[in-house]
Structure 1
Amino acid sequence: MITVTNRFLVKKGFAHKMAPLFISDKNLLNWEGFNKVEVNVCSEPEDHDEMNVMMFWDTVEQFKAWRESDDFKNLHRREEIGNKENNESSPIMGNRVVISEIAATLVK
């Protein structure tokens, strides 16, 4: 199993407002190999929020198939349209995508 984590830096106060947007696409539930999405927010820094959107997939190939799909393109096209209108007012200050293999797990 792998995780794909999109690590965002966002303007202070926006992470909790944005978090539900990352679980609103129910089409993900239909993709082979998709397991879940978790959104974690850290409000500890004084000048910004940190938000980690972590997707769990069975394989990198299944994630890449989704990433190249029309579902992915349509989802992100809606975001681009909204951002073109107010690009300077976007709360996203930066991001980084990290793909990791799950090497060990402890579950209760």
Structure 2
Amino acid sequence: MYVVTNRIKVKKGFAEKMAPNFTRPGALQSFEGFIKVEVAVCRDFEEYDEMSVNMYWQNLDGFKKWRESDAFKQAHKRPESKPGEAPKESPLLGSQIVVAEIVSSIGAATQA
């Protein structure tokens, strides 16, 4: 199993507003090998908040197909401004993708 983490720096106060965008039902759920998405928010930084969007995949082929798909492009498309309206400033400050294989894990102990 693999976890693909997108570490996204956003302006203070925007993480909670943006997090649900990554966990909406949609095309991602039907991609072969997809397991789940979790969004964690870290508020420990003075100048920004950081979201960790963790996508769990059975294999990397499924993730690669998702990244190359029209569904991915549509999901990451910026909303267009209305006529006569100035483009909205993005709350995104930067991001980094980290791909890691899960090689060891443990679950909660069962209670008798």
- Give the TM-score, by structure 2 length: 0.85
Separation in 1, partners of 2:57, 2:36: 8
Residue 87 of structure 2 aligns to which amino acid in structure 1? E
Which string of whole-angstrom CA distances, capped at 9 and with x for unpartnered residues, describes residues 50-108 of structure 1?
1100100011111101111111122122x2646x922xx21110100011100111111
Structure 2 unpaired stretches of 5+? none
Alignment of 1:16-35 (within 5 A): 16-35=16-35
State the SS of the aligned residue for 2:76.
helix
Alignment of 1:38-53 (within 5 A): 38-53=38-53
Structure 1 unpaired stretches of 5+? none
Residue of structure 2 in register with 1:10 after alignment: 10
Cα shift at 1:28: 1.3
Bigger proportion of residues as helix: 1
Residue of structure 1 in register with 2:87 after alignment: 85
Cα shift at 1:24: 1.5
C-alpha RMSD over aligned residues: 1.6
Separation in 1, partners of 2:79, 2:96: 18
State the SS of the aligned residue for 2:66.
helix
Separation in 2, partners of 1:17, 1:99: 25
Cα shift at 1:23: 0.9
Distance 1:25 1:72, change over 3 A: farther
Separation in 2, partners of 1:73, 1:45: 30
State the SS of the aligned residue for 1:85.
coil
- Give the TM-score, by structure 1 length: 0.88
Greater radius of gyration (CA): 2
Percent identical among aligned pairs is 47
